[in-house]
Every structure is written in structure tokens, then in C-alpha cells.
Structure 1
Amino acid sequence: MPSSLTPTAPSPLRLRIARLSIFVSVIVLAVKYSAYYVSGSGALLSDAIETILNVVASIGTLWAVSFAARPADDNHQYGHGKAEYLWAVIEGVLVVLAALGILLIALHDAFHPMPIDAPFFGVTLNALAGVINLVWARIMISIGRRHTSQALLSAGEHVQSDVWASLALLIGVSLIPFVHWNGLDPLLSALVALNVLWTGFCMMRRSMSGLMDEVPSADLVEKLRLLIAQTGTGALEAHDLRMRKVGSLFFVEFHLVVPNHMQITEAHDICDRIEAAFRQELGQASIHIHVEPEKMAKRHEPGQNSVLVLSS
């Protein structure tokens, strides 16, 4: 018995945050490039280059959030939620490519070191950009978690990683006039690149789990098993419980074994109780319950992971 699912309207807040992220990233890019321009620091240039990626990522995030919010249609009957995971993977790839580009710049600067001009002015500008990024990253991460938006969450974590890299640069570039070692500048660029590289790999790993329909946490699956046992009174057992999550929407399906003599209306009432309990626990969910009469069901041994013996 498949449950009906009414598509929800796109979240105005998610779309507004995605649009604002483009504006914020452009402002931060301008400030960081100014920091490089007044100092000539290759490390600050690498930070600015990474921020160019933030601008591209912000545009892609807006596309992903907007596309994922579309309701299901004839060609995409399960909705468009995976667009956010797809973009998060693409953004992760772009992050990795940006890290490799920064490493090349660091390698060039290591063999051709240049003196740094006005480092403190450049550091001050970069610090301002870092503060803007930190505030904005926390906003995106918070809203991404609250609205289960993988695109906003990945974008926020990407920007936040940029903040920690900027902090390291602030300390390192400030030290150059004191240590009198221009080689510190390309070394800092290389550290920025490694941080960006790690962020990109983490983003791809997490997003791929969504694209591959990775099972939610074991605790949540076990909680659903208990809910079936508590609300499925009248049925005999349930098995083949499967679930996945796309954005904020859960997809759940399982087989429910009922006595041979049970009428359709009774089985329907049991399914309604289970579905109500699931929605109270999960929120928005598409639930499919396949009802089987006892004589036609493939019985399972109690204790197997795929079997839920119900109370009677």
C-alpha cells in the first residue's frame, strides 16, 4: 500500500540564502584580491584564487537548491532532491582542482621567491574577509542542517574551511618580516592547498553516500523496527525493511505479513497506524507497505536482521 506524497513548496529561506551567498562570495573575493594586490603575497593570492571557486560554487548552489525544490513530475517521479547531492559532488571536484592549482602556484613561488610588500595591510584586509566568511559559513551550515539541504551544508563547510586557511595565512604572512624568510610564503600556500584538498575529498565522500542511497543511521532503522512492532498489532511479522533519504524526504518500504483471514480494511488500518507513527518520527516520508497473506508469504526466522516479529 503506497502512501501518497504531496510535494512541498521550495523553501524561500533556502533560496534566499543561496542567492545571498553569491553576493557575499563576490564581496569576499574583492577584499581578498585587494589584500594580495597591496602585498604581492603568493599565499594571499592562493587564498583569493580559492575564493573564485566560492563564487562559482555559490552559483551552482543556487541552481541545485532551486532545481531540487521542483515537485515530482512524469520524468522524475521521486522528485528532484538528488540535484543537491549531484552539485555537492561537482563542487567537491572543483575544490580538488583548485587545490592542485594552488599547489602549482606554491611550487613556482618556492623556486622564484619574491619580497612581500605591506604585509600588515594585506593581512588586515584578509582578516576582514575571514570574518565575513566565518559569519556566513555558520549561517549556511545552520540552515543547511535545519532544512536538510546538502548543497547549503557543503557550501557552508567549504567556506568554513576557507576561514581556517585564512587564519593560518594571517599568522604566517605576519611573521615573514620578522623571520626574514620569503620561502615561508610558498610554504603557507602549500598548506592552504592541502587544507582545500582535504575539504574537497570530504565533500565528495559525504555527497556520494547520498547519491548511492546509503542507509541512514542504524539507530534510526532500529527505531522504525520498534515502531512497526508497537503499532502493527494484528499483523504477524514484517520483513525486508529498506529505507533511503533524499534531501529532507525519507523513502521507506517493507513487507507486512497478515493472517489469511484478515480483511483488506483491517490490513489498511494497520498500515495507516504504522505510517502515522513513521511520519511523526521522520517528518516528510514516502512509505510503501506490501501486504502479504500468511499462506503466500515467505516466512523468516525470528532474530534475522530483516525480520520484525510484531506484538499481537
Structure 2
Amino acid sequence: MMSPARDPAPTGVLAPPDPALARLKRRVTMASLCVALALVALKIAASIMTGSVSILSSLVDSVSDAGASLVTLLAVRQAMRPADAGHRFGHGKAEPLAAMGQALFVAGSALLLTVEAVRRLFQPEPVGEGTIGIAVMVIAIIVTLVLVRYQTHVLAKTGSMAVGADRLHYTGDLLINLGVITSIVLSQYLGITEADPVIAVLIALHLLRGAWGIGRSALDALMDHELPAEDRARIRAIILAVPGVKGMHDLRTRSSSVHTFIQMHLELLPEQSLTQAHTIADEAERRLRVHYPDAEIITHLDPMGHDEAVPRFR
């Protein structure tokens, strides 16, 4: 029996993401989730044994990391799906959506932590089992440092916004865990009980600052913010160096984190044939892809000196 005919693949869609980079993203997000879950279990035990609000703050951060890492894992898998007939610009915005979710989740956790820390500031409680707490934090620092180095490697290769947001969390964790160790030493061994909640508040402020940075970057991507000025200047320099290109205008750019989108009008000599103009446009796109290999590039060709409406963008 013949199998039913399949619909032809849609045309005019983005090329699928690089499979090797997709695998890297999936592996690092899975590693991140596993590390977060392991640290949550470790810190729950340490928090119960020590009663330290600083360890509790570190636990809250690890819980938020676990939630964020799970969201990142799902978002990266969605973002890596190739473009289809219903999503011809791809699924790349799943990454900034995940980053925005991470920012909101971390901000909420930081606010709850601040409430608990302020309560402990007015009703201080001694920290017990300091040796256990310090040992747990040292283990957390070592594991987190290994993960951050792996994330840095993947981020350098992929430029993933979701992986970058996850890396920011864990980079902050290194400082947070060092702060918890300081808190335990000051509270248990030097008798400065106020140090525990004060450091917890500082940790919460750090989390809020990180959430703001992540949220702002994610919002830029979701709102189709232009690429940075240095990228736009580079694009202009590349295009204007192409033989036959006499000028350009209406340069518009954006990024979905997975793909970069570049649109522009090229100004060419009016006496050139369509074939010559097409060849020049192809060369311009080829040169751009050397620097932006994941880019979707759209060019519109204008005869130089044509009385066109005033360009909206230069």
C-alpha cells in the first residue's frame, strides 16, 4: 500500500538552527537543571540543620534557579524548532519570553526573602551548626563554578539569551554563597547575629538587580529593539564597501536571540540590468553573513537618484 502523500515543505522560511549549536544548548540547560535540583536538596538539609536565614536565602535562590532552568530548558527546545508554515520567522522569541519569566520569578523570590530577612533583623535568632553550613556552601561554590564555566563556553558559541540569563543567575550564586559563609562566620563565631539577616537583604538586592538586567534585555528582544549601534555601523560599513553599491537607507534590524533580521534599501546605478543588480545584492548578503551567519537578510534595490519618498531611517 502506498503511503499518503505529504504536503511539500513550506518555502520562504528560515533555515533550521545549526544542529551542533542546538545540541550544545540542550545539554547546558539540562546540566543547569540537574545542578539546581541537587543544590536545592543540599540546602534544604543545611537550612533545617543550621536555621540560618542566609542559607535560607541561598535556598530560595536555588529554588528560583531550578524553576528558571526548567523554563529555559523548555524554551530552548521550542526556540530551536525550525521555522514552519505558521511561524516563518522561526520560534526564536521563546528564549526572550523565558528570560522575562526568569526575571519575574527571581524578583518575586527576592521580595519574599527581604520580608523574612527584615523579620529576622528585628527578631534575631542564633545560627547553629556553622561547620555544616560552611561545608554545604563550599560544595555549592565548586559545583556552581563548574557549571558557569560550561555555560560561558556555550554562550560564546551560541549567543543564547536564555543561556545568558541562566549564567547570570549562577554567577550571582557564587557571590551569594560566599556571602552566606561570611554570614555564618560572623553570626556563630563572632556573635554578630545581625549579620545573617543583613547579608540576606544584600543578597535580595543583588537578585533584584540581576532580574532587572535580564528583564530589560528580554523586553528589548520582544519589542524588536534595534541591534546595538556598533552592529548597525558595522552593517553599513560592510554594505557600502560592496562594489556597485552607491548608498543605502532604511536599515532596520532586530534579533530573536536565535536569528538576526536585517532589512535595507540599496542604492545602485539606474542603468544597471536586473541581473547585475541581483548579483550586487547577493554579494552584499554574502558579506553580511560572514559576520551574521544566522541572519535573515532582505534587500530592496533602488536606482540612485530616484525621487523616492523621504527614507524613514538612514
Q: TM-score, normalised by structure 2?
A: 0.89
- After superposition, residues 97-116 of structure 1 pair within 5 angstroms as 97-116=108-127
- Counterparts of 1:294 and 1:202 in 2: how far apart (Å)? 43
Identity of aligned residues (%): 28
| 1:4 Cα deviation after fit | 7.1
Per-residue Cα deviation, 1:209-259 (whole angstroms, up to 9, x for no partner): 2222222232222222122222141x4422111112222422111112333
- After superposition, residues 35-114 of structure 1 pair within 5 angstroms as 35-114=46-125
Segment drifting more, 71-80 vs 290-299: 290-299
2:58–2:177 contact (8 Å) kept in structure 1? yes
Are 2:214 and 1:230 aligned?
no
Partner of 2:6 in structure 1? Answer: none
- After superposition, residues 1-312 of structure 1 pair within 5 angstroms as 5-10=14-19, 11-233=22-244, 235-294=245-304, 296-298=306-308, 306=314
Segment drifting more, 80-89 vs 122-131: 122-131
Unaligned 5+ segments in structure 2 are: 1-11
| 1:295 Cα deviation after fit | 6.5
Question: Any idea what SS the aligned residue of 1:231 has?
Answer: coil
Residues 178, 264 of structure 1: alpha-carbon distance in 2 compared, 3 angstrom cutoff: same
| 1:271 Cα deviation after fit | 0.6
Per-residue Cα deviation, 1:46-79 (whole angstroms, up to 9, x for no partner): 2112111111111101011000001112222101
1:216–1:243 contact (8 Å) kept in structure 2? yes
| 1:205 Cα deviation after fit | 1.4
- Counterparts of 1:237 and 1:40 in 2: how far apart (Å)? 68
2:151–2:167 contact (8 Å) kept in structure 1? yes
Question: Any idea what SS the aligned residue of 2:100 has?
Answer: helix
Unaligned 5+ segments in structure 1 are: 307-312
Partner of 1:310 in structure 2? Answer: none
- Counterparts of 1:305 and 1:291 in 2: how far apart (Å)? 15
Segment drifting more, 79-88 vs 218-227: 218-227
- Counterparts of 1:279 and 1:155 in 2: how far apart (Å)? 28
Paired letter, 2:129: A
Question: Any idea what SS the aligned residue of 1:76 has?
Answer: coil
- Counterparts of 1:258 and 1:210 in 2: how far apart (Å)? 32
Residues 4, 102 of structure 1: alpha-carbon distance in 2 compared, 3 angstrom cutoff: closer
Count of residue pairs brought into register by the alignment: 301
Runs of 4+ that moved beyond 6 A: none
| 1:305 Cα deviation after fit | 7.7
1:46–1:105 contact (8 Å) kept in structure 2? no
Segment drifting more, 90-99 vs 252-261: 252-261
Question: Any idea what SS the aligned residue of 2:266 has?
Answer: strand
Segment drifting more, 256-265 vs 202-211: 256-265
Q: TM-score, normalised by structure 1?
A: 0.90
1:144–1:151 contact (8 Å) kept in structure 2? no
CA RMSD of aligned residues (A): 2.1
| 1:112 Cα deviation after fit | 2.5
- Counterparts of 1:142 and 1:39 in 2: how far apart (Å)? 36
1:267–1:291 contact (8 Å) kept in structure 2? yes
Partner of 2:5 in structure 1? Answer: none
